Homo-oligomer: A and B are copies of this chain.
């Protein structure tokens, strides 16, 4: 059986129960076959240091995603659902206010996907969620390269004296041995820091860092080349913090930072990396309470649609 979106010619895109790009909702992935990817929500914001509200991110992304899930993506010249089958797996059942229980739930939910050979496309949720995702990823795939688009390093050791927070996930991912640190890249980082040493934190972990100023200077094609060179054919987990985008493009987020990127730049970058061996994706930090006209959610949904297009593109490459 193929899982694909409802035909928008038959029922208007604004109607019906809201799943991601109108994919079938399948609650228990263990009972299904032939699923190549699954979109899963992680409605969690307990680890946010400033604005809360990303627990409503998955719902907002689903709402607007009807606008961007058409089956043919000319950027990859791909009829997506000819080459792959996908579902909306609903949301992980987090425990609001309780960090470790929620992390366990996230690791559990993601493991089910990885173990069933389904590529996860997770949507958040605050960025701390990527740590338990990577724990799940490691169990199936071993160490992976981190491909990290963000305006922040997120490699602090602690925040308010606590280890787990949306500013710390990659410090712990590296320390727990989940990553190929030297193959990992952080792109788009910008803005001020608590301390000069924060800047060195990522480098000390072995990560490669391409700051925003450099991106603006050399352009997206050059960044694509740099990233491809670093990562090569290592397995990759791609995590995209929506605040990589400029606040004009993504006002609906928790810790926006000016000097960011347009959606055209983001698309150019993501599309350029389509041949990487990406085993999992997430898109985090969408906070609909601060959005306007759903443009942040739309950017998130469209980028996730690009992720799905890539999965289909790579499937098609295998086939053809």
Contact = CB atoms under 8 A, between A and B. Distances in A.
A203 to B, nearest CB: 13
Contacts of A92: 15
A50 B72 CA distance: 19
Given A193-B70, A263-B246, A17 B15 contact: no
Contacts of A155: none
Interface string A240-255: 0000001111011101
A19 interface: yes
A98, A246, A290: most-surrounded residue (chain B CB, <10 A): A98
Contact of A194 (B18, B72, B194): B72
A19 B198 CA distance: 25
Nearest to A93: B11
Interface residues of A, number: 101
A214 to B, nearest CB: 12
A67 B191 CA distance: 10
A49 interface: yes
B258 A298 contact: yes
Contact of A264 (B10, B71, B164, B246): B246
Copies in the complex: 6
Interface stretch (A55-63, A116-124, A225-233): A55-63
A49, A59, A192, A298: most-surrounded residue (chain B CB, <10 A): A192
Interface of A: 8-19, 25, 41, 43, 45-53, 55-56, 58-59, 62-63, 66-75, 77, 79, 88, 90-99, 101, 159-162, 164-165, 191-196, 198-199, 211-213, 216, 246-249, 251-253, 255-260, 262-264, 267-268, 289-295, 298-299, 302, 305
17 contacts: A9-B194, A10-B160, A12-B93, A15-B55, A15-B93, A15-B94, A51-B53, A72-B194, A73-B193, A75-B213, A95-B161, A95-B162, A97-B99, A257-B302, A258-B267, A258-B298, A289-B290
